Amino acid sequence: MLDPSMVAAVSAPPSLDVFRHANAERGPLYRAILACFVAAKERFALHLRPREIASDLIAVGVVASDEELEAALDQLVGWGNLRAFADTAEVATVEEFRRKRRLFALTREGAGAERALREFERYVGTPGELKAAALEDIEEHLTGLVALVTGPTFDGDKAYRLLEALRGRFADLTEQAQVFVTGLRRAVDLHDVEESIFLAYKERLVDYLSGFIGALTVRQAAIGALLEQLKGEPLEHLLDAAAAREMVDRLDKSAVLERELRDVWESRWRGLRGWFLPEDGAPPQAQRLHHFALDAIPALLRTIGHLNDRRVQRSDRREDFRTLARWFAEGDEDDAHRLARAAFGMSPARHLSVNDETLAAWDAAEVSGRTAWAEAPPLRITPRMRQTGSHRKPGRREKVVDRREAKEALARLAASEADELEAIRRRLDTGGRVRLSSLGVLDRGAFALLLDLLGAAYAARESDNSVMEAFSADGAVRIVLEPVADGSQARIETSEGVLIAPECWVTIHGLTTNLNSVGP
């Protein structure tokens, strides 16, 4: 029987002081010292002397005086990261024996803290991935489990090894997919990525998404079929074998602990099934990831369209404010005041007039742009302004301005734009059902309209293999997309670059219905 006091000591929560060095003022020095102990532990060196620590620090470019090193070691001992021992191994005289000499070793808590911090840095610094190879490994492990439960003999140890490998591969797949999805949402947001970086990244990203979508489509059905074979009595054998194998290395063996271990494996198996098979009417997680990857492609197309729009727009508010900030930084203080008045409308009211006498008085007073309005000379207006609110005397009305030429110019411009838009619509009109890759080289206007139509069609998609139908923003153009079963890619040359998208059958035609003639 185990001593209850020993069990209580083992189960007591460890102190979190071992993490205090990470945010301390001398955090880099503490991390470097502990890194020396971690490296020494990998060499099976259990203790280090201060001079050995100083030598290891110099090797990695960290220089600390003897006093700083001693203070840092004492602090780490106080936090529980290190443990100090008296060093009597190299004593030749009584004086050396009486001198303070110590050995330092990494505590179990300190080693755990360093391992946790390194895992944290690895987890945060590793980019997410869609691991298509993990799908193949999962299918292979499940095939091995099916062979075990259907074979003449059942090997519990082999079943446990396959289950453990399956658990690790599945956990890696789901974790990396979550990180990738989060990163992809930021990538398609124009506020979080530079335009040049995004344009260089988009083509590789579309190819990457297309490859994973193809692998997921092929593997999901096969993995689901294998999971259907592993249920009922075969699954019970696997879970019992996994729990029994983990009980071998446990110190305190009991039926309660074995049941808890079995419940853990059962929960993991439910998670695996829920990822590839529908549960309680809810779609599997793999299908959700599949839809997200598909939705990311039109999102990328829309982002490219926004980038094109931003380049051709007459004004860009963000760029205007950047230019204004640069002007503020380059000018002196007087220029900054004048620029502020001009940029933000800080000018006299339009209905007030300033005469020559007022301007002469201001010039004589040498009023600068930094003068507060309360300290500036007053603006004097005529008595008529105070009485009637108008400075001009009533008289004959002004002539009516003839705007016929301006209206004719606007009409010609509108007709020209309408003809240009109609030409774009005729260029994209397929006249029937054709492949997307057969559209040929597109100019800027036709490319922009095609992006809008593709984005609207994919947004209206109901399922992976359904026919997609949508209309342009003005309702004048209709597009119909039908999936192609061969999984090929369409490559469309444009004046803005090359568009690579999943191949499909496309039908585009304009609607010429006269809405004014439609009756009730």
Q: How do residues 188-212 score in pLDDT, each as one tens digit?
A: 554 445 556 656 666 676 677 777 7
At residue 364, the pLDDT reads 78
Q: What is the pLDDT of residue 399?
A: 74
Q: Is 283 or 411 the better-scoring residue by pLDDT?
A: 411
pLDDT value at 519 more than 70: no
Using DSSP's 3-state secondary structure scheme, residue 468 falls into strand
Q: Per-residue pLDDT tens for 213-230? A: 778 777 888 888 888 888
Give pLDDT, residue 157.
Answer: 84
Burial class (CB in 10 A: 0-12, 13-18, 19+), 419: exposed
Question: How many angstroms separate the CA atoms of 338 and 342, rounded?
Answer: 6
107-116, 264-273, 456-465: segment of lowest average pLDDT: 456-465
36-77 per-position pLDDT tens digit: 888 888 887 778 888 888 888 888 888 888 888 888 888 888
The yes-or-no verdict on residue 491 having pLDDT over 80 is yes
Mean pLDDT of 453-470: 78
pLDDT at position 185: 61
DSSP secondary structure code for residue 475 in this structure: S
Q: Which residue has the higher pLDDT, 108 or 177?
A: 108
pLDDT of residue 200: 63
Residue 469, H or E segment: strand 468-471
Residue range 9-38, pLDDT digits in tens: 444 566 788 888 888 888 888 888 888 888
Q: What's the mean pLDDT in 153-160?
A: 84
Average pLDDT, whole number, for the chain? 76
Which pLDDT band holds residue 94 (cuts at 50, 70, 90)? low
pLDDT (0 to 100) of residue 197: 60
**pTM of the full structure:** 0.41
Tell me what pLDDT residue 499 has.
81
If pLDDT is split at 50, 70 and 90, which confidence band does 3 have? very low
Residue 423: per-residue pLDDT: 82
Portion of the chain with pLDDT greater than 90, in percent: 0
Rounded to an integer, what distance in angstroms lies between the CA atom of residue 108 and that of residue 46? Answer: 12
> 506: which strand partners?
434, 481
Query: What percent of the chain lies above the pLDDT cut of 70?
Result: 76
Residue 21 burial (CB count, 10 A) = 24
Closest CA to 198 of 310, 300, 312, 322: 300
Asked whether the beta carbons of 442 and 492 are under 8 A apart, the reply is yes
Q: What is the 3-state secondary structure of 357-422?
A: HHHHHHHHHCCCCCCCCCCCCCCCCCHHHHHHCCCCCCCCCCCCCCCHHHHHHHHHHHHHHHHHHH
pLDDT greater at residue 269 or residue 387:
269
Q: Which of 178-187, 243-252, 292-301 has the lowest mean pLDDT?
A: 178-187
Cα dihedral 413, 418, 424, 426, rounded to 10, equals -140
Helices and strands, counts by H and E, the chain: 18, 8
CA distance 266 to 51: 53
> Is a pLDDT exceeding 80 seen at residue 467?
yes
Predicted local distance difference test score (pLDDT) of residue 5: 45
* Contact predicate 311/190, CB 8 Å: no
In this predicted structure, which of 206-220, 228-242, 481-495 has the lowest mean pLDDT?
A: 206-220
Using the predicted structure, report yes or no on whether residue 187 has a pLDDT greater than 60. Answer: no
Question: Of 207-216, 232-241, 452-461, which range is least confident?
Answer: 207-216
At residue 308, the pLDDT reads 62
d(CA 147, CA 230): 10
* Segment among 49-53, 70-74, 129-133, 145-149 with least mean pLDDT: 129-133
Rounded CA separation 59/115 (Å): 22
- What per-residue confidence (pLDDT) applies to 202? 64
Tens of pLDDT, residues 315-374:
567 778 888 888 888 888 888 888 887 887 665 554 556 667 777 777 777 777 677 777
d(CA 227, CA 145) in angstroms, rounded, equals 10
Is 169's pLDDT higher than 70? Answer: yes
Ramachandran angles phi, psi of 103, nearest 5°: -110, 145
Q: What is the mean pLDDT of residues 512-519?
A: 37
User: What is the sign, positive or negative, of the torsion defined by CA atoms of 384, 385, 388, 392?
Assistant: positive
